[in-house]
Copies of this chain bind each other. A is one copy, B any other.
Amino acid sequence: MTATDDYLANNATYADSFHGPLPLPPAKHVAVVACMDARLNVYGALGIAEGEAHVIRNAGGVITEDEIRSLAISQRLLGTTEIILIHHTDCGMLTFTDDDFKASIEKDTGVRPAWAAEAFGDLEGDVRQSVARIKASPFIPHKDQIRGFVFDVATGKLKEVS
């Protein structure tokens, strides 16, 4: 049995009490962009119910071209207007540098990634960087409700980055 098999067994239980389908557009008109971190359950931490919000996640919760793509689809085709950005304490992205990570991959595989790893040294600074990247994009129409937070993995609390 793999962990994937365990999760499939859980899915059968979930489906037993599932009621669908809900409408496609997010009912709360919100898109969340958060780190992929295992300790950050965005449904729990924000009390998001099924059907309410888009959830976009990656290593760091950073804004790259693919998050701009997702946010453009979210706002332009599916009616979201608010963006919530979430980084978190004790993030893995604080523990390495792009140069070291890429050199390590090159050493192991012979191929150096052409992409940035997006490691960062300043948690709140990188939340502000994410806001700045969204504001700089011509493809995101709604930019007046973008708020950035740091989730504390010790307390479960969100702190707004001002």
Bound Cα distance from A110 to B139, whole angstroms: 10
Bound Cα distance from A161 to B152, whole angstroms: 37
For the complex, is A132 an interface residue (Cβ under 8 Å from B)? Answer: no
Is the pair B90, A21 in contact by a Cβ cutoff of 8 Å? yes
- Total interface residues on A, using CB and 8 Å? 92
Is the pair B156, A15 in contact by a Cβ cutoff of 8 Å? yes
Q: Mark A49-85, 1 if CB is under 8 A from B, else 0.
A: 1111111111100001111111011101110001010
Bound Cα distance from A89 to B53, whole angstroms: 17
For the complex, is A113 an interface residue (Cβ under 8 Å from B)? Answer: yes
Whole-angstrom distance from the CB of A130 to the nearest CB of chain B? 13
Bound Cα distance from A14 to B42, whole angstroms: 11
Contact of A47 among B14, B27, B73 (CB under 8 A): B14
For the complex, is A39 an interface residue (Cβ under 8 Å from B)? Answer: yes
Q: Show 17 residue pairs from A and B whose CB-CB distance is below 8 angstroms, ordered by the A residue.
A: A4-B30, A4-B147, A8-B46, A14-B45, A18-B157, A20-B154, A21-B39, A21-B154, A22-B153, A24-B37, A64-B65, A69-B116, A72-B113, A73-B117, A76-B105, A77-B95, A109-B138
Whole-angstrom distance from the CB of A53 to the nearest CB of chain B? 6
Is the pair B39, A20 in contact by a Cβ cutoff of 8 Å? yes
For the complex, is A162 an interface residue (Cβ under 8 Å from B)? Answer: no
Bound Cα distance from A144 to B36, whole angstroms: 22
**Given A4-B30, A4-B145, A70-B58, A39 and B22 touching (CB < 8 A)?**
yes
Is the pair B38, A59 in contact by a Cβ cutoff of 8 Å? no
Determine the chain B residues whose CB is within 8 A of the CB of A21 once the complex forms: 39, 89-90, 153-154
